[in-house]
């Protein structure tokens, strides 16, 4: 794989929109965050092209819906097969365009494949036949599910294939037509994914790719009366903006399925196993350059073990390799772009005044080109220092005393976010007791906070972190559907 990815250096890929099977022109460069090199071209899809996509999608959605859950599932399974066959190519694009490491790329393609197969099975199970509900003797009651119409799927750059695919495939499985909008930073992997979906048999009239920035195409994409629902993953701010726009537009009242940011905390009490904690903290905070919604941001350590744990953590941080994501030895690749880098540098600047620096990456080891940000660990006294999500390899440590545990839990809930939470403790019963009181979608006990597994450990939060239902969970598809009864 490393050879395939290395050989792709200098390749360019298309990041053009695809409407009704036809690729548009692409005039804007897409950059490799690790090198600054151009890896492809994209464009802000014109309002006319978006309107056309809606019209065609709306016209063909009914036939797609009538095809039924089994037939749609067979096509989605084919998408999974094609992704598997094109694994190396997909990883190469993810690595070059999004700066993700090879390991991240592989996991991501696997996750995308899992989404396809899981939602295909969901379509077979829930969208093929009506459910018979009990009724008075002689009466038949049936409940059936169908697509809502044209779904808009808006995805981020941090899992540019897995999240993109998960949203699109769920909407399609439930019988919707789709306008898919990838992040402006990662249109090429989305373009390739849509080509493979069409090749698998999803009609070109049913699935369209519209590229561009939110500022450029958000309005024509969300104001259209044909929008029957939106699946969104990105920032809390954008989700709220989209919600307002949907409420104000003409046409039906539509659902917004939003998966947004987090201010994720791990509590480590004095009974935890330090070696395991250090491994898990490193993975949770720094894997994928900290650019996961689930990443650990605030580590709360009981005071009696804090000095020891921090010393061990510093040692582990020294070992982290920042560099070219296409090399297997790299732990941390670049952050996505100049803007992300600027935000992290500003945060580091602020923390240098308001917090105690525990570990600062040796800047002489930072690659010359590309948007690289080395891992940082600081100690803060108060959660309130962090008002906004910090998206990168930046960990904040807070010490607490045994008698302050209740207060820590209260403060975690008071952030208003509720995505992931971690606990390291060997006190029997503590995990359950805390689990019941923490408002977070994904709680991890004595392990790292990485890895949502489709169908097993579905992912999604609450409060400022999103609406649910969880992606890759048993309830997700229903939110994309209308329900009808026949009595």
Residues with a catalytic annotation lie at: 259, 293
The token pair at 55 is 């019209």
Our CB check for ligand ADP shows the closer of 35 and 238 to be 238
DSSP state of 19: E
- Among 154, 277, 322, 341, interactor with ligand ADP by CB under 6 A: 154
- Which part of the chain contacts ligand ADP (CB under 6 A), choosing from 62-70, 80-88, 179-187, 197-205? 179-187
Q: Closest separation between CB of residue 213 and ligand ADP, Å?
A: 5
Q: Closest separation between CB of residue 162 and ligand ADP, Å?
A: 14
Our CB check for ligand ADP shows the closer of 234 and 468 to be 234
**Distances in whole angstroms, Cα of residue 349 to Cα of each of 91, 105, 313, 388, 398:** 34, 31, 22, 15, 19
Residue 284 is a binding residue for ligand ADP (CB under 6 A): no
The token pair at 479 is 């939110």
Q: What residue spans of 259-302 are helical by DSSP H? A: 274-286
- Which part of the chain contacts ligand ADP (CB under 6 A), choosing from 66-74, 83-91, 128-136, 232-240? 232-240
Our CB check for ligand ADP shows the closer of 32 and 236 to be 236
Residue 213 is a binding residue for ligand ADP (CB under 6 A): yes
Question: 162: which residues sit within 8 A by CB, 6+ positions away?
Answer: 108, 109, 111, 112, 115
Residue 183 is a binding residue for ligand ADP (CB under 6 A): yes
- Interface with ligand ADP (CB under 6 A), residue total 14
Instruction: Tell me which residue has tokens 């480590």.
Output: 268
Residue 241 is a binding residue for ligand ADP (CB under 6 A): yes
- Which part of the chain contacts ligand ADP (CB under 6 A), choosing from 84-92, 102-110, 153-161, 364-372? 153-161
Residue 173 is a binding residue for ligand ADP (CB under 6 A): no
For CA atoms 117, 119, 121, 124, give the dihedral sign. Answer: negative
Buried b (16+ CB within 10 A) or exposed e, 104-140: bbbbbbebbbbbbbbbbbbbbebbeeeeeeeeeeeee
- Which part of the chain contacts ligand ADP (CB under 6 A), choosing from 49-57, 177-185, 414-422, 457-465? 177-185
- Among 104, 114, 184, 448, interactor with ligand ADP by CB under 6 A: 184
Please give the backbone phi and psi of residue 485, each rounded to the nearest 5 degrees, phi first.
-115, 155
- Which part of the chain contacts ligand ADP (CB under 6 A), choosing from 67-75, 230-238, 268-276, 420-428? 230-238
Residues facing 258 on adjacent strands: 232
Q: Closest separation between CB of residue 217 and ligand ADP, Å?
A: 7
Residue 156 is a binding residue for ligand ADP (CB under 6 A): yes
Short-list 92, 228, 216, CA closest to 152:
228
| Secondary structure class of 282 (helix, strand, coil) | helix
For CA atoms 193, 199, 205, 206, give the dihedral sign. Answer: negative
- Which part of the chain contacts ligand ADP (CB under 6 A), choosing from 131-139, 210-218, 406-414, 451-459? 210-218
Q: Which residue is nearest to ligand ADP (CB)?
A: 214
Strands 141-147 vs 131-133: parallel, antiparallel or unpaired = antiparallel
Residue 181 is a binding residue for ligand ADP (CB under 6 A): yes
Residue 235 is a binding residue for ligand ADP (CB under 6 A): yes
Question: 127: which residues sit within 8 A by CB, 6+ positions away?
Answer: 68, 69, 72, 145, 146, 173, 174, 175, 477, 481
Strands 442-445 vs 420-424: parallel, antiparallel or unpaired = parallel
Q: Closest separation between CB of residue 317 and ligand ADP, Å?
A: 25
Q: How many helices (H) and strands (E) does the chain have?
A: 14, 20
Residue 238 is a binding residue for ligand ADP (CB under 6 A): yes
- Among 214, 262, 334, 392, interactor with ligand ADP by CB under 6 A: 214
Residue 234 is a binding residue for ligand ADP (CB under 6 A): yes
Our CB check for ligand ADP shows the closer of 123 and 162 to be 162
Our CB check for ligand ADP shows the closer of 181 and 424 to be 181
Q: Check if the beta carbon of residue 154 is closer than 8 Å to that of residue 234.
A: yes
Residues contributing to the site for ligand ADP (CB under 6 A): 154-156, 181, 183-184, 213-214, 218, 234-235, 238, 241-242
């Amino acid at each position: 794989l490393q050879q395939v990815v290395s050989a792709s250096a200098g390749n360019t890929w298309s990041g053009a929109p695809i409407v009704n099977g036809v690729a548009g022109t692409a005039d804007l460069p897409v950059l490799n965050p690790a090198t600054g090199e151009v890896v492809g071209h994209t464009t802000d899809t014109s309002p006319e092209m978006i309107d056309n996509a809606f019209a065609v999608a709306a016209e063909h959605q009914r036939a797609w819906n009538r095809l039924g859950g089994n037939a749609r599932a067979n096509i989605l399974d084919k998408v999974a097969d094609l992704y598997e066959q094109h694994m190396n190519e997909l990883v190469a694009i993810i690595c070059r365009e999004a700066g993700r490491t090879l390991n991240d790329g592989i996991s991501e393609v696997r996750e995308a494949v899992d989404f396809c197969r899981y939602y295909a099975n969901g379509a077979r199970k829930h969208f093929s036949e009506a459910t018979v509900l009990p009724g008075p003797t002689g009466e038949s009651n049936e409940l059936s599910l169908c697509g809502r119409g044209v779904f808009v799927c808006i995805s981020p750059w941090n899992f540019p294939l897995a999240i993109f695919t998960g949203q699109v495939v769920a909407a399609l499985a439930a019988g919707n037509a789709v306008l898919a909008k990838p992040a402006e930073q990662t249109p090429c992997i989305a373009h390739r994914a849509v080509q493979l979906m069409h090749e698998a048999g999803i009609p070109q009239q049913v699935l369209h790719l519209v590229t561009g920035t939110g500022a450029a195409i958000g309005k024509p994409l969300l104001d259209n009366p044909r929008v029957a629902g939106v699946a969104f993953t990105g920032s809390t701010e954008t989700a709220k903006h989209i919600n307002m726009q949907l409420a104000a537009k003409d046409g039906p009242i539509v659902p917004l399925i939003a998966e947004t940011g987090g201010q994720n905390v791990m509590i480590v009490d004095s009974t935890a196993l330090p070696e395991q904690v250090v491994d898990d903290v490193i993975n949770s905070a720094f894997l994928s350059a900290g650019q996961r919604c689930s990443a650990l941001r605030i580590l709360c350590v009981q005071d009696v073990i804090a000095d020891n744990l921090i010393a061990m953590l510093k040692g582990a941080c020294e070992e982290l390799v920042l560099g070219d994501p296409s090399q297997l030895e790299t732990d941390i690749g670049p952050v996505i772009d100049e803007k992300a880098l600027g935000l992290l540098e500003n945060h580091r600047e602020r923390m240098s005044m308001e917090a105690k620096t525990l570990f600062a990456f040796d800047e002489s080891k930072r690659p010359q080109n590309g948007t690289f940000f080395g891992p940082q660990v600081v100690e803060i006294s108060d959660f309130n220092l962090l008002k906004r999500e910090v998206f990168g390899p930046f960990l904040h440590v807070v010490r607490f005393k045994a008698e302050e545990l209740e207060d820590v839990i209260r403060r975690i809930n008071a952030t208003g976010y509720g995505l992931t939470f971690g606990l390291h403790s060997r006190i029997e019963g503590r995990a359950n007791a805390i689990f019941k009181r923490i408002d977070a979608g994904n709680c991890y006990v004595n392990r790292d906070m990485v890895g949502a597994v489709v169908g097993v450990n579905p992912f999604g939060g609450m409060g400022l972190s999103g609406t649910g239902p969880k992606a890759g969970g048993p309830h997700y598809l229903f939110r994309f559907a209308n329900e009808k009864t026949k009595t």
